[in-house]
């Protein structure tokens, strides 16, 4: 496996969303590489020749990835509540930017439900389009996370055009670039990226960077900046624990997704996989992130009245 190759991920990690793009690529360029459960597109699970995968809904009574569908559905209500709660804190610094982050996360959930839920036929243009947009939203989500950390440094005044405009423009850039690359991987519309070479490697360095490397890097930088603000500027300890817990929950979600996913899939005889646990942990990390933000925007700390930290 070389840098940018998805072959191992698509065969070893059940419900790995970006494999939808490569399934279509292989289907168009060398369908003979599709073997086992991937041969029949009408029933194929998410992945390319996966060792364990949940069959498409209604295939031999399959409910699709029902556990993750439920987890995504419940998470939507949780995130809507976070958006409402954030909006009520009128004087809190970074309110508008954090609400944008929650909105983008909210948008990823129905797309995740559809792209990893085994509810749409593999290789279909509809699934490719939904997966490409989902990829764009994920890349944008982690820019929104990092953007919140930059706003927290008060380099620009939060909630103003000088903050919202660059925040939105950069987010739009990530969305358009990642969505375009995803479409090109699946459909080779412009032949800029072209099919994987060799085909079985399922390779795309730009897609790998934007969907795997970029999210991890953005989350790590965000954590570093926020710990600096809380410890170095605010000189507080309590909010640190929220950020640390949120980071731990996010890491656990990734460990579950990449290490336990197939174990749960096999243990359940392909009824569910570990993606629903990852979704729950990711949503929990977002909830704790809200409490961390609320903790550093308290109106009263030790008798001092301020909304963020003294300038």
Q: Does pTM surpass 0.85?
A: yes
Q: Does 39 map to a domain?
A: yes
Q: So what's the pLDDT on residue 306? A: 38
Q: Does 21 map to a domain?
A: yes
Q: What is the pLDDT of residues 90-101, one digit of tens each?
A: 777 788 999 999
Task: For residue 117, give both structure tokens.
Answer: 């839920």
User: Above 60 in pLDDT, residue 305?
Assistant: no
Q: Does 311 map to a domain?
A: no
Q: So what's the pLDDT on residue 298? A: 64
pLDDT band at residue 82 using 50, 70 and 90 as cut-offs: very high
> pLDDT averaged over the chain?
91
Q: So what's the pLDDT on residue 311? A: 34
Residues spanned by the domain of 165: 7-305
The number of distinct structural domains making up the chain is: 1
Give me the CATH number covering residue 24: 1.20.1070.10
Q: What is the pLDDT of residues 162-218, one digit of tens each?
A: 889 999 999 999 999 999 999 999 998 877 776 777 788 899 999 999 999 999 999
Q: Does 120 map to a domain?
A: yes
Beta bridge partners of 291: none
Averaged pLDDT, 294-304:
59
Q: Does 1 map to a domain?
A: no
Q: Does 2 map to a domain?
A: no
Q: Does 47 map to a domain?
A: yes
Averaged pLDDT, 211-228:
96
User: Above 60 in pLDDT, residue 279?
Assistant: yes
Averaged pLDDT, 112-135:
96
Determine which of 10-14, 85-89, 124-128, 137-141 has the lowest per-residue pLDDT on average: 85-89
Task: For residue 91, give both structure tokens.
Answer: 């004087």
Q: What is the pLDDT of residues 244-276, one digit of tens each?
A: 999 999 999 999 999 999 999 999 999 999 999
Averaged pLDDT, 64-68:
94
């Amino acid at each position: 496996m070389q840098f940018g190759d998805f072959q191992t991920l698509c065969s070893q990690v059940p419900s790995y969303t970006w494999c939808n793009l490569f399934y279509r690529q292989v289907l168009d360029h060398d369908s003979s590489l599709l073997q086992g459960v991937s041969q029949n597109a009408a029933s194929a699970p998410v992945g390319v020749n996966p060792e364990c995968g949940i069959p498409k809904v209604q295939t031999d009574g399959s409910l699709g990835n029902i556990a993750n569908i439920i987890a995504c559905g419940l998470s939507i209500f949780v995130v809507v509540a976070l958006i409402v709660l954030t909006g009520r804190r009128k004087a809190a610094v970074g309110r508008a930017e954090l609400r944008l982050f929650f909105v983008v996360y909210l948008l990823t959930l129905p797309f995740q439900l559809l792209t990893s839920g085994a509810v749409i036929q593999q290789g279909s243009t509809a699934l490719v389009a939904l997966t490409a947009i989902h990829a764009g939203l994920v890349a944008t989500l982690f820019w929104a996370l990092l953007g919140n950390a930059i706003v927290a440094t008060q380099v620009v005044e939060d909630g103003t055009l000088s903050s919202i405009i660059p925040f939105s423009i950069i987010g739009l850039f990530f969305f358009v670039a990642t969505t375009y690359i995803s479409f090109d991987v699946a459909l080779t519309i412009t032949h800029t990226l072209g099919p994987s070479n060799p085909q079985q490697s399922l390779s795309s360095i730009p897609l790998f960077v934007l969907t795997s490397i970029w999210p991890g890097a953005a989350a790590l930088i965000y954590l570093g900046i926020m710990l600096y603000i809380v410890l170095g500027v605010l000189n507080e300890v309590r909010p640190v624990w929220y950020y640390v817990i949120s980071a731990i929950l996010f890491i656990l979600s990734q460990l579950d997704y990449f290490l336990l996913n197939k174990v749960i899939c096999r243990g359940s005889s392909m009824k569910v996989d570990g993606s629903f646990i990852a979704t729950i942990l990711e949503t929990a990390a977002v909830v704790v992130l809200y409490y961390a933000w609320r903790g550093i925007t308290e109106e009263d700390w030790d008798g001092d009245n301020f909304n963020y930290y003294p300038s």
